[in-house]
């Protein structure tokens, strides 16, 4: 008896649920949980089921593929540790939160390595027996620097997600394309407010009463990829932008770790620059 | 073409979704939204579907009843205004919020009347051309007082919900039994903290940093019925209990109106002294 | 014995608190509450004290004025009902919330009147025996329309605040200048995200997971005045922009009423396009 | 030029602020921030000022002591690292969050050591070069076990705070008395709801829609000490108690670390089983 996550997105049409549940029934599957969403405007159907049964995942996928419209995306996933790489710069909080969760067994992931353009975080990462790679950007142009990172990444097998845990450099379209829908970033503002550099300074200047953080997939436009998770905290006039930054870190790390957890549990569908989260 | 809400709770068993979706398919129904929940511990299955089609609600219900286990509860509801009665005492905020929402067309409900044991709220209610009935408890014991209320209620047709909008008296088991799972109360604390009288004073004495409000169905044990909705706000040492009370009112009215909306949209299942909310 | 609110903002310098507390002491005042804030970057000092004593407000103000630097702003206010005018368009929730609070005695204000460019809200306002004035913008250019509103406002005595309770038209610099730091607006987004028209549609398109509302003073730049209060709620992929709009209304009305309350209690200082809130 | 935190609590009487600010003025102090609170019911005055000047802390304290009523408590503190000991059992999240913050330099503290009644957390603590002491309770009665802990603690110099980072055993009055107002605990519920063992199971059984965590000082009554900080998150019917526990950990660690930070910055006054937090 095994558990499987069945992920389906399809153009919406009458009978989809009927067809899918017929196959589940024929395979003798027990449905442990089931989430559906229909986007009526775009005519899209999304489903995530966790099923239990004595089956072969490939066979189930084949049966679903045969019955559903050809444009459908179908996945049958046996839960297993996913491989992640973390990229950071100098700040410790977001990286540290992931490392502690990993150590505590909270994350269903192998951390293949941590990459930074500085060496400040090396001693922290080494404590956890995780490879740390300093790839400095000094004296390199953006393409040359990324080439080195991509080279290193190519030595790692089967990367499921790259987590930008306060990696403070912008990635080129080439890099993003190479890991499409696999790069999760934490932006230190409540997007789309304060896109770009030093959002806490921007927030301070604007005199906002709430600050936040946004975890999102990275696409080619800065801070404009599909949002996965957001959270906020209240601030007041007594906060300097440094105070906002310090308080904001609590939000950043929680939001990023939450988004990573959603990804590791195969709970995120991406389409139309948005996310559907089950 | 009509829209219908299909509500099903059943003992969980393999094939339920298959059977239900087969019938939906045979009736040519379009599924607009679908929520499912399986409580594995208690072996219970819950489903709320909004379907669209050119059908007869009774026939659909009959077909589902024939196919599903005999212990199942099945409802096929054509959305329509529900009839509500509001009970209050002297405070205006929760009642006022419902009246404004009703006036704005936000609530799918007819307000049949407002009952109070005092007359303070009469002029407010009269503004909205809604019947107001003062049923004083003075010189009556609890049973006599409730008898008068029940008499009045019995003159009103088809009450779907009784909303206790800060009605400050405890109802007897007899009253509760007469409107089982139909009485929605707002308790001015984050239950189960501060059960009973003057929760803000209790909260002040305890020095809490957060206060809240809880909307729940009323059962025979004071403040122990199934919780529908809860919300909180932060307070600090500078709050007197009167300040907590005043700030708490914002939470109370939002939580109560939210719970009422959930009820009017047939989104609440009650079982095991809990609620499942879709 | 009377209570007074003493409001002081001044260029920060050593000895300010000493001087102020000396005068309080000489006047035999009892300090009921005291808030201070020093903005070190801009070198500004802010203070709000609630004091109790048998004094003449003008004398106290004069003594403070004599002792403090000439650039200081000093106010000694005897708490009293403030005069407000509400402007709205067609939506009922924000206006209704203020009317109910006013009726309940929660707001220390006289509502002099409600102005709308449509007549939809007239019957609601009339219920509360408050003057309602329809000033249509049809066939008028912006200046002509505002001229009519300004004419009406000039017939009202001593307006303390104009509350834009979902007034859906942009005010000209001339109008704003006439009531500088006296116009409170509710913007239906978490500013500075989604400035301008239909923020809920913008939020929906962007796929955000949180929406909010912002109360702010109106200045000459659209949605860029000093922020008074903000609040947010969580949404998910299942929310259409209409759902966001409906849920957002709960936040809008609470935030606007909260900002109004802060203003009526003389708790807001405005400077550098920000607010200090005590 | 040094910075000092001046903490005063006193029986409220007219002229306190005048007297204090006179002394600040005489010492030529610059007031960087100032918080005051008067509890009118109990007649208590609280003040925390951060001042800057070229002074001797003891002299300032002496001057304040001479001028203020004899019952006053006066502290003049030069900010410095405080000494903390952490006690834990097996869970990693709260301890790990403190260790990472400590490593990141966020906490103004020396971690003298970590004590646990199990050895599971030893390898984590050792990574950070912090002494770890397993003091098993097996085969010991409560007094004997605590005796061993107290013995170990007595070898550590100048403990400012003992942080119970999910230490799952109840402390005796003797232990609590030995470190009065110095023991900070995280309780995994929104107190006073769900006092005692396994609050998440209790929360699940009750069907609450919000769960939380509470940081508080420990006194002799289980979970009834002065509350420092509380935070909550929303849950729904789909959460098992294990899900609540897992989600709750995020809240627990943030709340505990926040409370610890408040303590390290001398922001907490305790009285009447409550806290005043500046």
Look up D223 and say whether it is catalytic: yes
Q: Which 3 state secondary structure label does DSSP give C96?
A: helix
Of B37, B190, B238, the CB nearest to D238: B37
Same domain? For B49 and B91 the reply is no
Round the average pLDDT of chain D to a whole number and report it.
95
Same domain? For D188 and D237 the reply is yes
Same domain? For D193 and D230 the reply is yes
pLDDT for B107: 96
Cα torsion angle, D49, D50, D52, D53, sign = positive
Distance of CA B20 to the CA centre of its chain: 27
Angle between helices C93-103 and B93-103 (to 10 degrees): 150
Determine how many CB atoms are found less than 10 A away from the CB of residue D71: 8
Of D190, D228, D231, the CB nearest to B190: D190
C214 Cβ neighbours under 8 A, 6+ residues apart: C186, C187, C189, C190, C191, C223, C227, C229, C230, C255
pLDDT for B221: 81
Nearest in space to A214 (alpha carbons), one of A248, A180, A246, A182: A248
pLDDT digits (tens, 9 = 90+) for B94-140: 999 999 999 999 999 999 999 999 999 999 999 999 999 999 999 99
| CATH number of the structural domain spanning residue A40 | 3.30.70.260
**Domain limit, last residue, from C77, C106, C125:** C77
Same domain? For B12 and B127 the reply is no
Q: How far is B215 from chain A (nearest CA, A)?
A: 25
Same domain? For B116 and B40 the reply is no
Nearest in space to D35 (alpha carbons), one of D193, D272, D271, D269: D269
Cα torsion angle, B43, B48, B54, B60, sign = positive
ipTM: 0.94
Four-CA torsion B119, B121, B122, B128, nearest 10 degrees: -170
**Domain limit, last residue, from A16, A50, A77:** A77
Measure the CA angle with vertex D257, ends D251 and D262; round to 5°. Answer: 125
| D43 part of contact set with chain C, CB < 8 Å | no
Peptide bond into A192 cis (omega under 30): yes
**Average pLDDT for residues B19-35, to the nearest whole number?**
95
Of B207, B232, B273, the CB nearest to D275: B207
pLDDT for B191: 85
Tokens of C85: 């005018």
Same domain? For A139 and A160 the reply is yes
pLDDT at A256 over 80: yes
Four-CA torsion B121, C162, B234, A106, nearest 10 degrees: 120
Does B32 sit within 8 Å of A38, measured CB to CB?
Answer: yes
Alpha carbons D179 and A158: distance in angstroms, whole number: 53
From chain B residues 209-228, the ones with a CB under 8 A of any chain D CB are 209-210, 212, 226-228
**Domain limit, last residue, from C77, C98, C121:** C77
| D41 part of contact set with chain C, CB < 8 Å | no
The number of domains in chain C is: 2
Same domain? For D128 and D214 the reply is yes
Alpha carbons A241 and C40: distance in angstroms, whole number: 12
Which chain B residue has the Cα nearest residue C33? B238
pLDDT for B23: 97
Same domain? For C100 and C213 the reply is yes
DSSP label at B92?
A: -
pLDDT at D222 over 80: no
Does C232 sit within 8 Å of A210, measured CB to CB?
Answer: yes
Cα torsion angle, D123, D128, D129, D134, sign = negative
**Average pLDDT for residues C7-14, to the nearest whole number?**
95
Same domain? For A144 and A228 the reply is yes
pLDDT at A22 over 90: yes
Give alpha helix (H) positions in chain C: 16-26, 57-67, 93-103, 122-127, 142-154, 173-178, 199-206, 241-264
The catalytic site residues of A sit at: 223
Residue A1 pLDDT level (bands cut at 50, 70, 90)? confident
Q: Are D256 and D184 in contact, with CB atoms under 8 Å apart? A: yes
Measure the CA angle with vertex B262, ends B260 and B264; round to 5°. Answer: 70
Measure the CA angle with vertex A114, ends A110 and A120; round to 5°. Answer: 145
Same domain? For C98 and C176 the reply is yes
pLDDT for C173: 94
Q: Are A77 and A268 in contact, with CB atoms under 8 Å apart? A: no
Same domain? For A63 and A198 the reply is no
pLDDT digits (tens, 9 = 90+) for A78-103: 999 999 999 999 999 999 999 999 99
Tokens of A197: 């550099």
Please, what is the end-to-end C-alpha distance for chain C in angstroms?
Answer: 24
Alpha carbons D175 and B140: distance in angstroms, whole number: 55
Q: Which residues of C touch A236 (CB under 8 A)?
A: 277
Round the average pLDDT of chain A to a whole number and report it.
95
pLDDT for B247: 95
Q: Are D149 and D74 in contact, with CB atoms under 8 Å apart? A: no
Q: Which residues of C touch D17 (CB under 8 A)?
A: 17, 21, 24, 31, 34
User: In chain B, how many H helices and how many E strands?
Assistant: 8, 13
Question: D9, D223, D243, D266: which one is catalytic?
Answer: D223
Structural domain that includes position B59: 2-77
Same domain? For C25 and C160 the reply is no
Alpha carbons B269 and B8: distance in angstroms, whole number: 9
Angle between helices D241-264 and D199-206 (to 10 degrees): 130
pLDDT digits (tens, 9 = 90+) for A132-174: 999 999 999 999 999 999 999 999 989 999 999 999 999 999 9
Four-CA torsion B182, B186, B191, B193, nearest 10 degrees: -140
Beta strand A132-134 pairing with A109-116: parallel
| CATH number of the structural domain spanning residue A232 | 3.40.50.170
Please, what is the end-to-end C-alpha distance for chain D in angstroms?
Answer: 24
Alpha carbons C83 and C160: distance in angstroms, whole number: 5
């Amino acid at each position: 008896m095994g558990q499987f996550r069945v992920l389906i997105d399809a153009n919406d049409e009458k009978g989809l649920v009927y067809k899918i549940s017929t196959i589940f029934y024929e395979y003798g599957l027990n449905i442990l949980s089931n989430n559906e969403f229909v986007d009526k405007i775009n005519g899209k159907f999304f489903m995530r089921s966790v099923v239990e049964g004595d089956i072969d995942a490939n066979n189930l996928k084949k049966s679903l593929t045969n019955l559903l419209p050809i444009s459908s995306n179908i996945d049958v996933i046996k839960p297993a540790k996913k491989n992640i790489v973390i990229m950071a710069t100098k700040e410790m909080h977001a990286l540290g939160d992931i490392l502690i969760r990993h150590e505590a067994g909270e994350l269903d992931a192998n951390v293949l390595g941590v990459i930074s353009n500085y060496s400040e975080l090396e001693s922290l990462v080494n404590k956890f027996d995780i490879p740390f790679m300093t790839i400095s950007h000094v004296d390199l142009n953006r393409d040359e620097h990324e080439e080195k990172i991509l080279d290193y990444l190519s030595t790692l097998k089967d990367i499921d997600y790259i987590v930008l845990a306060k990696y403070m450099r912008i990635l080129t379209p080439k890099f993003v394309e190479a890991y499409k829908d696999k790069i999760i970033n934490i932006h230190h503002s409540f997007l789309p407010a304060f896109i770009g550099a030093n959002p806490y300074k921007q927030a301070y200047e604007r005199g906002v009463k709430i600050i936040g953080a946004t975890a999102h997939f990275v696409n080619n436009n800065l801070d404009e990829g599909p949002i996965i998770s957001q959270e906020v905290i209240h601030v007041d006039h007594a906060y300097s932008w440094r105070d906002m930054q310090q308080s904001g870190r609590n939000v950043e790390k929680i939001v990023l770790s939450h988004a990573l957890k959603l990804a590791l549990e195969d709970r995120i569908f991406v389409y139309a620059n948005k996310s559907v989260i089950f």
